[in-house]
Structure 1
Amino acid sequence: MSNFVDTAWLKDSLENEDVIILDARYSPTDADYGFSHYIKGHIPNARHVDISAITDEQSDYGGAKPLPYPDQLAGIFGSLGIHEQSTVVIYDDYIKPESARIWWLLKFIGHEKVFVLNGGFAQWKADGYPIVQEETIVQAKEYIPSPRWEIALKKDDIAGVIEQQSAHLIDARNEKVYAGTLGKSGHIPTAGNYFWRRHLNGNQLKLKDDIQVGIQHYKISDSIVHYCGSGISACFNYLLFDEIGYQNIKLYPGSFTDWSASSD
């Protein structure tokens, strides 16, 4: 089953109480961007989710945005009215790593029915579907997680992957950052590079066959670990590899900021 739904499907599902819509719009340079755009206009019944707040500085996953543990994530998503049987649809500006990050977090706690809106808010608006400004009233739910610990790796795990050559590491950042030609960064040893925007034509998701051609260097049976700078962009690659049918895929949530940090 696809990880994506289109705007027509979502329009037809607006009255379905089991469908929970999350507005994940976000800017790393503007802390108010997501909520301010939500208030200016959002899809009916959508709940704003602040991606920058879903971190835990006490977590040993490390990095710039440390991954919270499943019980904490369950509390966050439960407060948004989500329970284990909810169908969750996430959107951002068009189709970007923010929605993929929320999708992956839900997958991490074992949620099955979670999707990304193809085309995001821009497509919804272009299709002429309704937009509202009032905040959605949310009734919190209890969420009991079923963690998928195996899809989230830590720094020691990555060191093991490198030593044993047991998986392909894929860096989702742009080519210049990956290569270290901008005066900083570089990449984790042995890692390849696949910039997340290569899955797009402009702001539109490529056709599935074209996405598959772009990543055909990797066999469908390969073990693959995705990372980026802070653990957000890598979720977009994870999402698309999952869409194509790769099953042995994992995320390094701490990503390069964790890898390059001092162990002291």
Structure 2
Amino acid sequence: MESLVTIEWLADHLSEPDLRVFDCSRLLDMRIGQEKSGRPAYDREHIPEAAFLDLEDDLSDPEAEISYTPLPAGALAAAFGRLGIGDESRVVLYDNSGSMWAAWAWWLLRSVGFDRAALLTGGVAEWRDAGHPVTDQTTGYPPASLTAAPRPGALADKDEVLAATGDPTVRIIDVLPEESYQGLFAMYDRPGHIASAINEPMAFIDDGGFSLKSTEQIQSGLGGSPDQRAITYCGGGIAASASAFAMVRAGYTDVAIYPGSLEEWTKDPDLPMVAGPDPT
């Protein structure tokens, strides 16, 4: 199974017994400017056979101060197992926001050594528009056993990122909009970007849904070698995972996400931030 599958592919394979499909949606509450669980949208309609995966409640450390801090690898594998993902499962992930949220679940599966997952090129709306039925019937899979085989370097912490700011062999990649990178507005405690980071988003949500830059565009934008260490970040790790997904599909072999991203980094005034355009 490819790491990116189409609506048509899923329709053809939906009934296969080893396939696990998950709706990973989150909803933006405009009243308070925060996102929340997408469970209400799932309960209204979703792709048949899809279970709901709550990125916060199911996969995040409840004791952590930073949003979406991943559980330790063993606990994370156990959490996926409780959702019904086993060593021999195949997994398709989607959401209501162009697969950005689903990419975070895909990356966490990758971080525990699971390589049988894919993102769907669309969500419920695209599924329905293609003429396929939707349902409001809840799906749950029986628990399974997923072996934790942590992939070294898939997740970078604050200390690694700080060291990388002075290491020219490591690329730090800010995937937020250019205006945020330059410090023209601040979504977090301090404006700008992590020192030495370049600005190179590689995954987008547009009218056509989820789109990735081509391998040629990514290589041209990043330069260097595909085996050079790279760390992506955004505000809270979600958009960073979509761009990291694009890099892996383009053949980059040593890619990490910084889960804490600017939410964590900007809280510490001793960590270097820079405002201004991308020097590259």
Q: Is the 8 Å Cα contact of residues 153 and 255 (structure 2) preserved in structure 1?
A: no
Secondary structure in 1 aligned to 2:159? Answer: helix
Aligned residues: percent identity?
28
Q: Structure 2 counterpart of 1:257, which letter? A: E
Runs of 4+ in 1 over 4 A off after TM superposition: 30-33
More strand by share: 2
Structure 1 residue 28 displacement after superposition: 4.5
The two structures have a TM-score, normalised by structure 2, of: 0.85
Task: Classify 1:222/1:137 alpha carbon distance in 2 versus 1 (closer, same or farther; 3 Å).
Answer: closer
Alignment of 1:77-156 (within 5 A): 77-93=80-96, 95-156=98-159
- What is the aligned-residue RMSD (CA, Å)? 2.3
**Cα distance in 1 between the residues matched to 2:256 and 2:37:** 30
Alignment of 1:180-199 (within 5 A): 180-183=183-186, 184-195=190-201, 199=204
Taking CA–CA contacts closer than 8 Å with sequence separation of 6 or more, which of the two structures ends up with the larger relative contact order? 1
Structure 1 residue 204 displacement after superposition: 2.9
**Cα distance in 1 between the residues matched to 2:134 and 2:72:** 34
Q: Is the 8 Å Cα contact of residues 64 and 258 (structure 1) preserved in structure 2?
A: no
Deviations along 1:184-216, one digit per CA (max 9) or x if unpaired, are 43110011112355x45434344764x632551
Q: Structure 1 counterpart of 2:178, which letter? A: E
The two structures have a TM-score, normalised by structure 1, of: 0.89
Structure 1 residue 110 displacement after superposition: 0.6
Q: Which runs of 5+ in 2 are unaligned?
A: 271-280
Alignment of 1:218-229 (within 5 A): 218=222, 219=224, 220-229=226-235
**Cα distance in 2 between the residues matched to 1:233 and 1:144:** 27
Q: Structure 2 counterpart of 1:256, which letter? A: L
Q: Which runs of 5+ in 1 are unaligned?
A: none
Bigger CA drift: 172-181 or 3-12? 172-181
Q: Structure 2 counterpart of 1:212, which letter? A: E
**Partner of residue 45 from structure 2, selected from 41, 44, 67:** 41
Q: Structure 2 counterpart of 1:228, which letter? A: C
Secondary structure in 1 aligned to 2:27? Answer: coil
**Cα distance in 2 between the residues matched to 1:172 and 1:230:** 11
Secondary structure in 2 aligned to 1:27? Answer: strand
Task: Classify 1:174/1:31 alpha carbon distance in 2 versus 1 (closer, same or farther; 3 Å).
Answer: closer
**Cα distance in 2 between the residues matched to 1:212 and 1:263:** 37
Partner of 1:22: 22
**Partner of residue 72 from structure 1, selected from 63, 71, 75:** 75
Q: Structure 2 counterpart of 1:253, which letter? A: P
Task: Classify 1:163/1:32 alpha carbon distance in 2 versus 1 (closer, same or farther; 3 Å).
Answer: closer
Q: Is the 8 Å Cα contact of residues 208 and 244 (structure 1) preserved in structure 2?
A: no
